[in-house]
Amino acid sequence: MRLRFAPSPTGALHIGGARTALFNWLLARGSGGRLVLRIEDTDRERSTPENVAQIIDALNWLQIDWDEGPIMQSERAERHRQELARLLDQGHAYRSTATAEDVKAYKAKHGADRGFRGRQEGEGAIRLRVPDEGATIVHDVIRGDTRFEHVHLDDPVIARADGSVLYNFAVAIDDLDAGITHVVRGEDHLSNTPKQLLVLEALGAPQPLYAHLPLLHGPDGKKLSKRHGAASVQELRDAGYLPAAVRNYIALLGWGSESDETILSTQELIDQFKLERVSRNPARFDETKLRWMNGVYIRASSVEDLASAIEDHLELEDPDAAAAVRADRAKLLEAARISQEKIQRLSDFWPLSGFLFQEREIQEKARARWMGEESVAIATQARAELADIDAFDEPSVQRALEGLVARLEVKPGNVYQPLRVAISGTTTSPGIFESIVLLGRKETLKRIDDALAGAAR
RNA sequence: GCCGCCAUCGUCUAGGGGACUAGGACGCCGCCCUCUCACGGCGGUAACACGGGUUCGAAUCCCGUUGGCGGUACCA
């Protein structure tokens, strides 16, 4: 199989484009075929080098690689011109000055079910001549055959008056030259396919097989946009998702494995992905499931890997936090270990466990609930216990505090929550024993003292 | 308007005429575990858009309606 991913650099790579890239990649890797990356930048106004860089960056982050390219469509202008000249010579295409309004007027006059057919004028934009009779049938691996009657089709403009080619022409030529066997892309291109097929036919060229993927929508069923939160690959990365989790999740949008499994490694994805099993209905991108899935991947990571991922993430998102974390690798490792089962995204780490690296102000609500008279009395005793024990490790700390709970005959939370608030500033944190040990005796006692002093005021 | 695609729990989906009392996953709810938050375990909630056919039998096939989406650019 020879496949291609052909984004147009008019914006960031969004999740729909990422899925198209992934499906092509899975097919290439699973079949021993090749994947061609082509940048469709024939829209000179909207295509920018920054967007190209961003798309490549996104693919790199997703760990989707390609075998050929990136081919810039704009650099193939000469080839496009050649084929265009051939079509013109052979009468398959002609120049016409007809505008969009002219086409509309034509159809109003001739009836809605009669496609626009222009006259050879020798100047103006170049249109492809569509046969009056018959139909073009798109053979789609996912959808079966779709028939487009020629009478409904307008002669499409394939090149501007200045000779620069348009999308539907360039794609056909580029796919042909690249020897693409399977065109896998979004369903928004289905209606364009007959035009491309007609170009190929006029050229007497072979036709590839098509597969049009169902479109992706936002949670509200509307077109995906920034409004829906993390819609681009970059935003997903910034939100603290892992590439492997994102790949797993988007693979499941419009496709399901035969085994009905949800968590699938990239290798399993490669082994199991079949175009024939891609669904025909549009899917909504709902971040909730991705969040859950990311948590699964985080829990499955080694502590080493998780720590590195957290560090990289902080590096990008929070320089201060990154510096704090970088200063003590051993501590980061421990912090990652005790946070691992409590976070779903890398971005959850710092809010939950940052207190292990930096002292924080105690939140008002937490103080009100857990720094009252009784709590202060308990915390004072707990402080004494912690100051007293010989070894400051988890078993010792646990034994000491559990002893206190038993002696005081209070609920465990009455001891642990004031301590938690004192050391973390809030009511949720990793396990209290682990947190205290990781903080160390000196720092723990200091924070309890600070909290006690604050409560007295 | 015209052309086309699509239609199963809130969401992603399984389903290819009888195996469907419609399965799984996320979410949600409840219980258990529990130092908080999570994790984990157990249980529950919830869907074949509507109307006609075809058939002994339809979530599955056909037609229509409705709805969603795409195309209809000298955009991609």
The label of the residue with tokens 């490790």 reads A393
| Any domain includes A274 | yes
A256 and A377, same domain (yes or no)? no
Distance CA A191, CA A265 (A): 34
Q: How far is the CA of A135 from the C1' of B62 (A)?
A: 23
Among protein residues, the one whose C-alpha sits closest to the C1' atom of B68 is: A221
Strand B nucleotides, any atom under 7 Å from protein beta carbons: they are 1-8, 10-16, 23-27, 34-40, 68-76
Q: What would the pLDDT profile of A349-366 be if each residue is shown by its tens digit?
A: 999 999 999 999 999 999
A58 and A184, same domain (yes or no)? yes
Q: What is the dihedral of CA A232, A233, A235, A240, to 10 degrees?
A: 150
Distance CA A275, CA A141 (A): 7
A376 and A343, same domain (yes or no)? no
A381 and A416, same domain (yes or no)? yes
Judged by C1' against the alpha carbon of A143, the nearest nucleotide is: B5
Judged by C1' against the alpha carbon of A171, the nearest nucleotide is: B76
Q: What is the pLDDT of residue A112?
A: 73
| Any domain includes A359 | no
Q: How far is the CA of A342 from the C1' of B42 (A)?
A: 21
CATH of the domain at A442: 1.10.10.350
Average pLDDT across chain A, whole number: 93
Residues forming a β-bridge with A284: A217
Q: What would the pLDDT profile of A265-320 be if each residue is shown by its tens digit?
A: 999 999 999 999 999 999 999 899 999 999 999 999 999 999 999 999 999 999 99
Among protein residues, the one whose C-alpha sits closest to the C1' atom of B25 is: A262
Among protein residues, the one whose C-alpha sits closest to the C1' atom of B75 is: A43
Q: Which domain holds residue A328?
A: 302-353
Does A36 have pLDDT greater than 80? yes
| Any domain includes A51 | yes
Q: What is the pLDDT of residue A127?
A: 96
- Of the residues A223, A226, A274, A289, which is catalytic? A226
A197 and A58, same domain (yes or no)? yes
Distance CA A367, CA A418 (A): 8
A344 and A368, same domain (yes or no)? no
Q: What is the pLDDT of residue A108?
A: 82
Q: How far is the CA of A59 from the C1' of B47 (A)?
A: 36
Q: How confident is the model at residue A178 (pLDDT cuts 50, 70, 90)?
A: very high
| Any domain includes A166 | no
User: What average pLDDT does range A44-69 have in this prediction?
Assistant: 93
Statement: the pTM of the whole predicted model exceeds 0.90: yes
DSSP structure class, residue A209? E
A343 and A210, same domain (yes or no)? no
Burial A288-301 (b: 16+ CB within 10 A, else e): eebbebbbebbeeb
A289 and A315, same domain (yes or no)? no
A59 and A195, same domain (yes or no)? yes
| Any domain includes A74 | no
Judged by C1' against the alpha carbon of A169, the nearest nucleotide is: B76
A290 and A306, same domain (yes or no)? no
Q: How far is the CA of A257 from the C1' of B59 (A)?
A: 20
Among the residue ranges A42-46, A226-230, A288-292, A413-417, the one predicted with the least confidence is A226-230
Q: How far is the CA of A323 from the C1' of B75 (A)?
A: 46
Question: Looking at the 3D structure of chain A, how many domains does it have?
Answer: 5
Among protein residues, the one whose C-alpha sits closest to the C1' atom of B70 is: A188
| Any domain includes A72 | no
Q: pLDDT > 70: what percent of chain A?
A: 98
User: What average pLDDT does range A20-26 have in this prediction?
Assistant: 97
Judged by C1' against the alpha carbon of A289, the nearest nucleotide is: B26
CATH of the domain at A231: 1.10.1160.10
Q: What would the pLDDT profile of A69-110 be if each residue is shown by its tens digit?
A: 899 999 999 999 999 999 999 999 999 998 888 888 888 888
| Any domain includes A144 | yes
Distance CA A105, CA A283 (A): 38
Q: Annotated catalytic, A107?
A: no
User: What average pLDDT does range A163-168 have in this prediction?
Assistant: 93
Among protein residues, the one whose C-alpha sits closest to the C1' atom of B7 is: A281
Distance CA A160, CA A118 (A): 15
Q: How far is the CA of A286 from the C1' of B13 (A)?
A: 14
Q: How confident is the model at residue A436 (pLDDT cuts 50, 70, 90)?
A: very high
Distance CA A134, CA A220 (A): 40
Q: How far is the CA of A260 from the C1' of B71 (A)?
A: 34
CATH of the domain at A112: 3.90.800.10
Q: pLDDT > 90: what percent of chain A?
A: 85
Q: How confident is the model at residue A226 (pLDDT cuts 50, 70, 90)?
A: low
A189 and A211, same domain (yes or no)? yes
Q: How far is the CA of A156 from the C1' of B46 (A)?
A: 48
The residue out of A295, A310, A333 marking a domain boundary is A295
| Any domain includes A71 | no
Q: Which residues touch A312 (CB under 8 Å, ≥6 apart)?
A: none
A236 and A91, same domain (yes or no)? no
Judged by C1' against the alpha carbon of A249, the nearest nucleotide is: B12
